[in-house]
Amino acid sequence: MFQVLQRELFGICLVLLSLQYAYETEAGMPKVPNNKFECKDGKRIDHSLICDGNKNCLDGSDETFEVCHDFKCDKLRCSYGGCIETTNMCDGKNDCWDGTDEYIFDCSSETHLFNTFISGECTDSQHSQFQCRQSKECLSYYEVCDGVENCSDKSDESPELCVGTICLEGTFRCAYGACISKTALCNHVTDCRDGSDEIASICSKDFNMSWYTNLWQKQDIPDTIDTTTIRISHENEKSCKVIGANVHLKTMYNGLPYLGEGTVPHMTTVRLSCGFNFVRQGSDVNTCDNGEWMAPWIECIKGCKSSTITNDRSIQAVCTYEDEIVDCSTLLHLPKTIATTKCAQGYKHTEAIAQGEVECKVGGFWRRRNAVSVKLKCIPDCGRTFDTVKGDPWVVSVFKRMGPDRHNFQCLGTIINPSYVLTVTSCFQHMRGITEYSIIMGNHTNSFNPNREHGYDVRHISTIISKFKPLVLLKMVNPFVLSAKERPICLEEIANDYNGPKPLPQGMAVVNKKNGTSSLTHVSNITHIIDFQDFRDSIKDEIEQA
């Protein structure tokens, strides 16, 4: 009985294995998990590694047009479909293997590139033209990178020229960069010069069916198929003038940058933008129609830099344009944008006014709306403590790296300015470099391992200024963001002898509290107490001149 049952189970297993094999080998390939990609040499890699600009397959099959042509990219898209960081654009080396990121029209600073590389000796003033490299024919600009070899030397469809094109929605991008209508994709007619619009794997995927390159291989083919490419001549139509010195544009169908001076051919659609420090007003898309632009032409206006108001940590601003709130951090603002400012948290105003208003003026500069009003000036609201916060908000701890996994306490320090900490030089004995030291917010003495979770708020030092010995100034990499938990102590001039207990912890501040605010009077150096008033003026001058 048991042997019979064993044989039945064995038979069932064989059937299941056969079914699994049949399923996995359907379409002639083994089943690959959804999170994996199989290279052509059989190696499997994480699916997240495909089309990232790096050939993670030894045979490079993860970075091909066949795999990447429809890859979604929100960074810099290579012509074949790969996706790389935008910071790699024009850095002098090919991060896209097809050279998209070093496209000559995007990266060259040559002002006459259009004449030397595109128009050559073709000087028809009515139409922007392209001169074929070797055969020297003159073509209309719209005939370049359109999938059809119009030059007898085929230079109008060269990858060097077409790799940086931008294809519109509703078009298909050929592997070398040309743009054709999406209706021409997978129609058994080679519309891309390289035949990439008829790649079987792409067509099978897009149409969810088996695809055959040759017409005779497909079932139910109509008796006659019109394979004629219809071309419309625009030689008798007028071109449109480009208006404005700061206007930048690219043709949208074949994506080539417009580098000439004067005209754009009839029925050419362009994408418009403005030069450096200029803001565009109007639609960014326009089309030339027999000498007239179909939409109102854009205006490029000198904008006001947002950094003027956003880089000042002492203020916070609300920006409005035509009575609607806009993002103050936008790189450039249009004239008539108003920024209403007040002191940021941890700061207080020095004059009678608590709020200011500046307006972006024509010419790209900010001016106070009321020219006779006092300028809003905000200074740190120093020396204040809060019942809701444990400890003084100006106290920090200096730690030193003693090994790869241990940082030890060295001394205390005091925030005296949003960018500076004051402590004693004895804290930095046997120093090999600034990176050995770090600042921890608050009074802490327990060692910590930077490679593990520790709960400390760590800050970093950029410069050590030791000309005020035995005191030392530490300039921070990033300024402190003032709040109830971190703010500077006041540096008022106070004559006050120290008669308190000794010794005190190294670097500890001695303060004088009056009317709710604390001012620094002395700093502990273990063996003795340093009178800060002896250094007050020179340290304040150092900070103000920085």
In contact, 256 and 144? CB cutoff 8 Å: yes
Residue whose structure tokens are 């006459």: 112
Judged against a pLDDT cut of 60, whether residue 194 lies above it is answered with yes
Structure-derived torsion over alpha carbons of residues 211, 217, 220, 224, reported in degrees to the nearest 10 = 110
Mean pLDDT of 274-289: 86
Q: Is 162 or 427 the better-scoring residue by pLDDT?
A: 427
Please classify residue 472 by burial: count the beta carbons closer than 10 Å to its beta carbon, then call 0-12 exposed, 13-18 middle and 19+ buried: buried
**Coil/strand/helix, residue 510:** strand
Higher pLDDT, 397 or 90: 397
Judged by DSSP in three states, 368 sits in: strand
CB 436 within 8 A of CB 461: no
Top mean-pLDDT range of 61-65, 135-139, 243-247: 61-65
Check: CB of residue 298 under 8 Å from CB of residue 247.
Answer: yes
3-state secondary structure of 16: helix
| Fold of domain 395-545 | Thrombin, subunit H (2.40.10)
Give the mean pLDDT of 212-233: 37
Identify the pLDDT of residue 190.
81
Identify the residue whose tokens are 């931008």.
Answer: 166
> Phi/psi at 61 (nearest 5 deg)?
-75, -10
Between residues 246 and 14, the one the model is more confident about: 246
Residues with Cβ within 8 Å of residue 451, at least 6 apart in sequence: 404, 405
With residue 205 as reference, give the H or E element that holds it: helix 200-207
Evaluate whether 57 touches 45 at the Cβ level (below 8 Å). yes
Note the pTM of the prediction, 2 decimals: 0.55
Residue 193: its pLDDT value, please? 82
Q: With CA atoms as reference, report the closest residue to 40 among 59, 65, 64.
A: 59
Q: What is the DSSP letter of 115?
A: I
Q: Is 64 helix (H, G, I), strand (E, B) or coil?
A: coil
Residues 29-86 pLDDT 10s: 455 677 888 998 888 888 889 999 888 898 889 999 989 988 888 888 898 899 998 8
Q: Tokens 């107490």 identify what position?
A: 529
CA separation for the pair 189, 40 (Å, rounded): 27
Average pLDDT, stretch 193-202?
A: 84
Average pLDDT, the chain: 82
What pLDDT is stored for residue 214 in this prediction? Answer: 47
Q: How many CB atoms lie within 10 A of CB 434?
A: 16
Determine how many CB atoms are found less than 10 A away from the CB of residue 471.
Answer: 21
Lowest-confidence range among 14-28, 332-346, 366-380, 532-546?
A: 14-28
Residue 18: predicted pLDDT: 44
**3-class DSSP assignment, residue 253:** coil
